Structure 1
Amino acid sequence: MERNLIAGLNRRKVKVFFLFLFCSLLAWFLSNLSDSYESRTEFTLNYKNLPDTLILGNNAEKSVEAKVRTSGFQLLYYKFFSKRIDVDLSNVVYESGDYLLKEDILKKQMDRQLSQNISLLDLDGTQWIVDLYQVSQKALRVKPRIELKFEPNHLLDGVLSISPDSIIVKGPASEIDTLFEVETEPIILNNLSDDFSAEVSIVFPKDLDNSIFSENRVEVAGKVVKFSEKVFDVDVRAVNVPDGYNLKMFPNTVSLVCKASLDALKKIESEDFEVTANYEQLGGNTSNSILLQVTKKPGTVYAVRLQQRVVNFVLERK
């Protein structure tokens, strides 16, 4: 029993010893961290105020290493959390084919953003080459890849609306000179019976590493109306008949089927259409039949179909 008691006391002494040792080491460590040191540390770069005529390339440096003097606490913090520095590019200069930011300018920018207990001693190099490109820009037409499937007796009223119908691309001339349009992702809209709108992503060409686009999505919209059909009887008018002759047609009146909205059909009359037989189309052919064409129709009509495309004729002297 005495042995167990002695062993227990010894274990307590060991624990107390290690506790005091840990506290001593911690105090020493914290005391040393409060001292100033010189060390190299890395700063993450965030470029801003880019001139309108330039664009930042993908190979632009993301960070810079600098020698600083500060407390051990601050250096330890930087080991785990990188400090972000805003780099103002409005002061870049163009020399010997490169865009440069002088070290003294970059150093001043960094000094303004670092806390007072950090001294910036030096940077790598005397100048900073920034990966910039001279900007060209142009408007690209947006071409929708959309398939519309309507409910029976419904159709698109007018044209498809695309907003915006063009986008701006900025980049090196070598990348964008051959671009004239961009397409949307393919989309199918089914069972349409009401007006619709949908956001569609733009598919950008590949290998445009240093170009940027003003938009990446467009809105496609359209009006849907219910239509009906109505038959109109229209007189056939002969055109380009040789002087001194009359063109007598059999029949001289034909029927056409007009497809339009119900409201539009109420306002349409036979006189709103014109069907012609152009004698010149024969071109010396001795045939006694001639092809008909619809040469006038109301703007509110979606489609017109002649029920009879050809009529017989006789050319008579006056």
Structure 2
Amino acid sequence: MNGLNQKKAKVFSLFLLCSFFAWFISNLSETYESRAYFTLNYRNLPDSLLLGKNSNDQIEAKLRTSGFQFLYYKIFKRRIDIDVSEVEFQNGDFVLSKEVLIKQMDQQLSQNISLLDLDRNQLEVDLYQVDSKKIPIQARVDLQLQQNYILDGEIKVSPDSVEVKGPKNEIDTIKSIKTSSIQLTNVNADFSNEVTLIFPKGLDNSIFSVGRAKVFGKVSKFSEKIFEVPVQVLNIPEGYQVRTFPNSVTVLCKATIERLKEISVSDFEIVADYGQLNGAESSTLFLEITQSPQKVYDIRLEENTVNFVLEQQ
């Protein structure tokens, strides 16, 4: 007898549950008027404006639609795109009128949803005027080369600058952007490292076009070569000639092996200025390199002075 009663109870519960679901679905299929919240997604900002942190992130709307749709909105908040390019500047604020908001929202709602009203007459958007400029990026590299290797050219950064947008009083204070520090030791080959950029503090209303950069450089093996370069004397008194001892000096040049093959004595000019004596009695003239080849690591005179004699012609 008890087993029969339990079976009847189960059947009754099943019918009761089915009835409830039928009633629930029937009610959800009916049309209602109620309110729902939408998350705002601002887009199409003009180049001269940036979005501040105090903009409203949601709006409440009165809708007419099915219970199914309202149930969906209760579970999942719907995102609505707000086209900021339609803002108007009124009494010191950037605003979107109620009419514009309804038009934009209507275009994104499905056809079975009627937008009846909003919780406000206008939407204030936290926008501010911005300037923009390019800021050079400076690489911070601690480079230690292996013996007999040189940095062939300069250390480069790509991109070499970053565009910043923000209030004029903020971005005018920025002169350069530095990379995070790189330490490279015992280097004997070309290098390339991706690094983060270090932005100054206190730039809450500024945005930067990139946050990372590539730092790279070319490394070559170098050698030395000695050149015997003749000495030229300048500002010799009229009617005289100057003979130097020696009449040529040794120049030590350090460069890549390939570059040294291209260099000749004619690429150098070593001068001694007789006018430097300014009437003083001396038999020594100081030497100066006034012309030298480009793309070399180091140039050094083996002698800084020469002796001379002044002879009348």
Is the TM-score greater than 0.5? yes
Residue type of the alignment partner of 2:199: F
1:9–1:284 distance in 2 versus 1, CA, 3 Å: farther
Report the count of equivalent residues: 313
Would the aligned equivalents of 1:58 and 1:209 in 2 still touch at CA under 8 Å?
no
1:220–1:73 distance in 2 versus 1, CA, 3 Å: same
**How much does 1:57 deviate?**
1.9
Residue in 2 that maps onto 1:82:
77
Would the aligned equivalents of 1:193 and 1:224 in 2 still touch at CA under 8 Å?
yes
Residue in 2 that maps onto 1:118:
113
1:288–1:81 distance in 2 versus 1, CA, 3 Å: farther
**1:216 counterpart (211, 217, 228):** 211
> 274-283 or 80-89, which moves further after superposition?
274-283
**1:147 counterpart (126, 134, 142):** 142
Q: Write the distance in 2 (CA, Å) between the matches of 1:127 and 1:282.
A: 85
**How much does 1:8 deviate?**
2.5
Residue type of the alignment partner of 1:135: V
**How much does 1:60 deviate?**
2.2
1:131–1:304 distance in 2 versus 1, CA, 3 Å: same
Q: Write the distance in 1 (CA, Å) between the matches of 2:260 and 2:106.
A: 76
Residue in 1 that maps onto 2:290:
295
**How much does 1:63 deviate?**
1.8
1:272 aligns with 2:290: no
1:25 aligns with 2:27: no
State the SS of the aligned residue for 1:215: coil
Q: Write the distance in 1 (CA, Å) between the matches of 2:166 and 2:281.
A: 63
**How much does 1:24 deviate?**
2.1
State the SS of the aligned residue for 1:229: strand
Residue in 1 that maps onto 2:5:
10
Residue in 2 that maps onto 1:56:
51
Residue in 1 that maps onto 2:299:
304
Residues 28-59 of structure 1 deviation map (CA, whole Å, 9 limit, x = unaligned): 22222222222222111122222222222232
Aligned 1:234-245 pairs, distance under 5 A: 234-240=229-235
**How much does 1:223 deviate?**
2.6
Q: Write the distance in 1 (CA, Å) between the matches of 2:102 and 2:246.
A: 92
| CA root-mean-square deviation | 2.7
Give ranges in structure 1 of 5+ residues lacking alignment.
Answer: 1-5
Q: Write the distance in 2 (CA, Å) between the matches of 1:128 and 1:286.
A: 89
**2:254 counterpart (253, 259, 268):** 259
Residue in 1 that maps onto 2:157:
162
> 229-238 or 121-130, which moves further after superposition?
229-238
Residue in 2 that maps onto 1:3:
none
Q: Write the distance in 2 (CA, Å) between the matches of 1:194 and 1:99.
A: 56
Residue type of the alignment partner of 1:22: L
> 127-136 or 199-208, which moves further after superposition?
199-208
1:296–1:39 distance in 2 versus 1, CA, 3 Å: same
Identical counterparts, % of pairs: 54
Residues 5-42 of structure 1 deviation map (CA, whole Å, 9 limit, x = unaligned): x3323332332232222222222222222222222221
**How much does 1:257 deviate?**
1.2
TM-score (norm 2): 0.88
TM-score (norm 1): 0.86
1:283–1:186 distance in 2 versus 1, CA, 3 Å: farther
**How much does 1:66 deviate?**
1.5
